Amino acid sequence: MEHEVFVTKDEFIPAIQGMLTERARLGTISCLDLVDEFELIYHFEPQEAPEPLTHLRARVAKGDTWPSITSIYPSASLAELEIRDHFDIEITGITLDFRGRFLRSKESPEAALLKPTPYELTAATRHPARCGEACPAGIDIPRYVRLIGEDRPADALAVIKQSLPFPGILGRVCFAPCEAPCRQAKQEEPIAVRMLKRFAYDNTTYEEEVAAEPTGKRVAIIGSGPAGLTAAYYLVKMGHEVAILEALPEAGGMMRVGIPAYRLPRKVLDEEIDLVKQLGAKIQTSTEVSSLETLFENGYHAILVATGAHRGMKMGLEGEDHHRVLECIDFLRSVSFGKGPQLGNRVAVIGGGNAAIDAARTALRTGAADVTMLYRRTRAEMPASASEIEEAITEGVNIDFLVAPRRIMIENDTVILESVRMKLGAPDASGRPRPEPIEGSEFQLEVDAIIAAIGQSPDVPQDFALETGSKNTVIVDAETMATSREGVFAAGDVITGPASVVEAVRSAKQATISIDRYLGGEGVLPVPELDIKDLTSRQTFIERWARDNQRVVMPTLTIDDRLRGFDEVELGLTEEMAVAEGKRCWRCDLEE
């Protein structure tokens, strides 16, 4: 039977000293968040195996400090640092144990410690790291980051390619959900994972292989966006014959028509599309599909619907059908194909997502002098990524928060946007505070054009005869991506609504596995085995302190150079910058 011992703060250190006197071994430390306070549990193993475990339990109020036990049990340092970082508990007096060499403070008790043994390098045990677990594509992030820190970009790229077909694209446009859980994010200095991915792609090459024998099975993919291209990449490598059918005149889907070239250069996009072609997939552009039955009749054994979400949503405002009121994706698409409209000097963009930010920054590049975004909540609730918001402001976009449009009027060729000030109320279904109009706060804004960017939805032909749900998204099985029709699968924004490129990649990989199984395969993605050796131990605390721990800053074009056209804003990391950033990683996935 195990012992549970509850102690107060005053009783805590004497109890720990008592455990040392009994020569008990510290196993680990647990922490429970109890809303108003935390409970810390110190788990001890007895010197003699038959004796029961002892768990010392103590409560610490939020905002209070707690004494470290590292002067008594130096091995507690890692657990205490983890608890400090994750739960924001101030643990005082931490001394450190690194690789068996003890640092002791003058407050250390006289109790004898076991003598340190010589450090011997052993094979590392790997554990899931927070960054890798947060990656929708399942990339082995800590491994490729530390390989770049060793100045081995080719090996880093090989690791990335095990999970991601298009590192050049994602190295530029991924919203990097992996960075938020980084242990260094507490100090607002998470590892620049996305930038390092781009560095690996830009500074080395990768040799693709197609090892599978032809299966004789044919797959039609409708749409050449990130989901369609990802599925084609893997299905061809599995030996299937793949045809991508794209309604637009150029391949790329929303990556071409929804993401401006200053974020995703067309050269990079074309390089990774060409890769899919070189592997054997055929891409037919300007090919609109209206019937799935016809594709089956033409000899295809399976179909993937990956048409994205290209239909702009209406605002429901009086006057929004005027030709000076543009839908966001229509505007971005026309600019992408070199047919952008003349907006005039004053432009209002309604919305707060990444598409709205892209539209505002694009408007500046097409000649508008005064661009104002109107968003009905505050900056904290904006769905656009924080970095994109900051870039827009830097380039001169004005953002008017807590404003909602009421109606649109046209007078003497001037567009008048009547709006109302808002305040935040109780949370709505999305969990964000509901914006509520402030009575008597109406005002008017005179502009030359309005761009509506309040969202998009899929445009699924009725003749596809697929079961659809909210906002016309295709309903699929959450695991297999199978639709309501036999042999038809779906992936990407067509099933989720507007999301991100990396999330489309994830669903496409799931669909690919299911399609291969449906066609008689094993449903195993073709992932090359790697013979790459890298570091085997966590970064020591001395290593952390020996270097500047500031996150690298991406070099960018000057504001004047940005607004002259659509040249890529981010210039890329130098080798020195990338290696230094890779070395900042604490290697949380390794344990000796």
Q: Convert 523-585 into a string of H (helix), E (strand) and C (coil).
A: CCCCCCCCCCCCCCCCCCHHHHHCCCCCCCCCCECCHHHHHCCCCCCECCCCHHHHHHHHHCC
d(CA 143, CA 136): 16
DSSP per residue, 12-42? HHHHHHHHHHTTPEEEEEEEEE-SSEEEEEE
| CB distance 541 to 98 below 8 Å | yes
| Res 98 pLDDT > 50 | no
Mean pLDDT of 288-305: 97
What pLDDT is recorded for position 87?
86
| CB distance 494 to 223 below 8 Å | yes
Mean pLDDT of 81-85: 87
What pLDDT is recorded for position 109?
45
Q: Which residue has the higher pLDDT, 176 or 97?
A: 176
Angle made by CA atoms 38, 42, 44, in degrees to the nearest 5: 165
* Whole-Å CA distances, 345 to 53, 307, 384, 435: 74, 34, 24, 30
| Res 2 pLDDT > 80 | no
| CB distance 390 to 422 below 8 Å | no
What pLDDT is recorded for position 50?
58
What pLDDT is recorded for position 375?
97
Residue with tokens 């990335």: 160
| Res 468 pLDDT > 60 | yes
pLDDT digit string, tens, across residues 228-281? 999 999 999 999 999 999 999 999 999 999 999 999 999 999 999 999 999 999
pLDDT digit string, tens, across residues 134-154? 999 999 999 999 999 999 999
Domains detected in the chain:
3-102 (3.30.460.80), 125-207+529-591 (no CATH), 218-310+457-518 (3.50.50.60), 314-454 (3.50.50.60)
d(CA 419, CA 61): 47
CB atoms within 10 A of CB 214: 10
Pairing of strands 282-284, 241-245: parallel
Pairing of strands 37-45, 90-92: unpaired
Residue with tokens 């002892």: 54
* Whole-Å CA distances, 581 to 159, 193, 256, 372, 548: 18, 9, 30, 36, 10
Helix or strand run (H / E) with residue 311: strand 311-312
pLDDT digit string, tens, across residues 183-196? 888 778 899 999 99
d(CA 228, CA 222): 7
What is the DSSP-derived secondary structure letter of residue 76? G
Residue with tokens 């030996």: 239
Q: What share of the chain is helix, strand, coil (3-state, %, to 5)?
A: 30, 20, 45
Query: What is the pTM (predicted TM-score) of this model?
Result: 0.79
d(CA 276, CA 166): 10
d(CA 170, CA 172): 5
